[in-house]
Amino acid sequence: MTSTPAPRPRRRTASIALVTGALAATALAAAPAQATAGSATTGTTAAGTTNGAGTGTGTGTTNATDRPATRAALTKIVTDGLPGVTATAQDANGVWRAGIGLGDLRTGEKRGEKDRFRIASITKTFVATVLLQLEAEGRLDLDDTVEKWLPGLVHGEGHDGRKITVRQLLNHTSGIFDYLGDPEFNSGYAAGQGFLKNRHASHEPEELVGYAMRNPPTQQPGGVHQYSNTNYVLAALIIEAVAGEAYEDEIRERIIEPLGLRATLNPGDRSTRPEPGSRAYSTLTHLPGPRIYDITSSNASSVWGAGDMISDAADLNRFFRALLQGGLLPPEQLKAMKTPAPNPMEIGYGYGLGLEQYTTSCGTAVWGHTGGWKGSLTMSMHGEDGRRSLTFNTNGDWRFDGLMPPVEAEFCGTAPKAAADTGADTGATEPPPALRTPLADRVARAVGS
């Protein structure tokens, strides 16, 4: 195996093979939409009219089986203040889909059952799968150093690519600083008004890594799990160095096309999103507030291999089902993917190689990944053998604390509790803090978490 990396090919603007429907020109509104966030009953559109954003409880469901607990938990996300939810669940009895709440606060259009959305960090599972396929083919080793494939790139402020392995990138034990936390990048591109102003800017992956290298590592390589988006920007660059093709092309040729994922794509530098889809809303703070912004149009090159992909709930269920059933990786690589990194502070949660594992309150282990982008929060969770699945997405980003109850409902059958008179979010059979905290860590970061 040679240590000389192939030159990284020029990335394409978008990887869109097998994608149906045209890319919609979702133009930025001249003025931001406004709504009364957190209201249990209403929201105010940019036009200033009451639209019943919190009352869209059951705007449409397609039932292969009845799922009252899951439907109630998803509905509670909307009544607790987010605009809408799209979801797809599947088990031996068939497929169940739901569109709940609103997809457009301005027009009152309902959330669709087949909406596409930005999957953010669920992209990491696709990247890890390709790298594990390359390892199975003998083209790299998980214990190769980053320096071997990306010479000189991971260097500065104590970072040393000679001491960091590919495995440590994939399970987030590298200690590499998360570039989203760099003060200049965060204020200029990832958070608040900086994001709003510069969300159509294009970024190169080496640029993103450069922001990380200006900050000291968070720990020595090989320590405990510490989530860093820089790890997966580097992982995607290694795919390109090993394969000699764009990472987007490798994902398309190895996963999207073989599985027939017709709603799934890498958008590259495109700021538009394919139809069907709903508007995406953010308070720019990940906290409820009196003002929200329509940020549907944005350029995800700011996260690239750490979180730039677009898909829908059904495609994600198909992907994880194939992955967990051994359809994408040999047993050795799948076992490695499901082996969690040391993580002593988070009981009931594990992170393997691009794959998260939660233990629900009823003891059921579920596997998958979460993703948080401005205006989009996604959970994709699946049983051990992939036969039971639930993926759902919200088109608002300021109430990530309520995303575990639908998983509890689907896999444990527990319905959500009624909200207290104080208006507090009590959730559905509220899972212990050990389950809530890692989820909050995954999706409460700046854009791309």
Contact 374, 329 (CB under 8 A): no
pLDDT score, position 417:
54
pLDDT score, position 374:
93
Q: What is the CA radius of gyration of the chain?
A: 20
DSSP code for 180: G
Please state whether the predicted TM-score (pTM) of the whole model is above 0.85.
Answer: no
CA distance 425 to 438: 18
pLDDT score, position 272:
84
pLDDT score, position 9:
46
pLDDT score, position 60:
56
pLDDT score, position 290:
75
- E strands in 74-148: 84-91, 94-101, 116-118
pLDDT score, position 340:
96
Residues in the chain where the model's pLDDT stays below 70: 1-65, 415-449
pLDDT score, position 288:
77
Joined together, the tokens standing for residue 209 give 């890594």
The label of the residue with tokens 């591109």 reads 189
Q: How far is CA 445 from CA 84, 173, 197, in A?
A: 21, 18, 19
pLDDT score, position 285:
84
pLDDT digits (tens, 9 = 90+) for 60-83: 556 656 899 999 999 999 999 999
Q: CA nearest 446: which of 223, 191, 212, 178?
A: 191
pLDDT score, position 64:
57
